[in-house]
């Protein structure tokens, strides 16, 4: 396996492990038809907003899910095809909460391992078991995000007669 293949595999792995998605869709609909379809979505199913050549939306759900994705699409019209660059992200507050919840124990572990701080007189180190709970929270959020992102991606593909 050469370096190029390794970097491609690493990139694919990171796409699966990070809480965001980027993809490009294409459709034969015009920009006006796309925006008309997005505006026609029932307010009971999705929140949506259209600004210039962009749209934003997220799903309304009857249960709590901190990993609910926020979708932003940007349209690029060509002759007979319209490309839609889609970014699916978490809300910024959720990102910060998960980031801090995972980062603080990780930093504590690193500091302890390198003995940069004396945590007590016996010089006991923090164990890697400290990362089990934050890791579980991160992977729980990842699973929730990916499942919700899949639902909204399938919806947008169906709504716009698009292909990826």
What integer is the mean pLDDT of 155-161? 91
**Cα Rg of the chain (Å, integer):** 21
pLDDT digits (tens, 9 = 90+) for 77-120: 888 899 999 999 988 888 888 888 888 888 877 777 666 545 55
Average pLDDT, the chain: 84
Confidence category of residue 126, pLDDT binned at 50, 70, 90? low
Q: How many CB atoms lie within 10 A of CB 80?
A: 7
Q: Taking the C-alpha atoms of 35, 38, 43 and 44 in order, what is their torsion angle to the nearest 10 degrees? A: 180
pLDDT digits (tens, 9 = 90+) for 1-29: 788 888 889 888 888 888 889 999 999 99
- Render 95-151 in DSSP notation, one character per residue: HHHHHHHHHHHHHHHHHHHTT-S--STT-PPPPGGGGHHHHHHHHHHHHHHHHHHHH
Q: Which domains does the chain have, with CATH numbers?
A: 19-159 (3.30.310)
């Amino acid at each position: 396996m050469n370096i190029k293949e390794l970097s491609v595999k690493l990139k694919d792995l990171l796409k699966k492990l990070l809480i965001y998605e980027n993809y490009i869709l294409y459709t034969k609909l015009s920009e006006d038809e796309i925006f008309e379809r997005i505006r026609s979505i029932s307010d009971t199913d999705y929140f949506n907003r259209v600004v210039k050549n962009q749209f934003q939306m997220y799903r309304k759900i009857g249960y709590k899910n901190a990993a609910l994705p926020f979708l932003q699409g940007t349209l690029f019209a060509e002759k007979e095809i319209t490309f839609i660059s889609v970014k699916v992200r978490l809300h910024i507050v959720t990102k910060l909460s998960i980031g801090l919840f995972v980062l603080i124990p990780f930093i504590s572990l690193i500091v302890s391992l390198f003995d940069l701080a004396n945590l007590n007189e016996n010089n006991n180190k923090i164990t890697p078991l400290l990362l089990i709970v934050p890791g579980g929270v991160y992977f729980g959020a990842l699973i929730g995000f990916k499942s919700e992102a899949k639902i909204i991606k399938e919806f947008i593909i169906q709504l716009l007669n698009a292909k990826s």
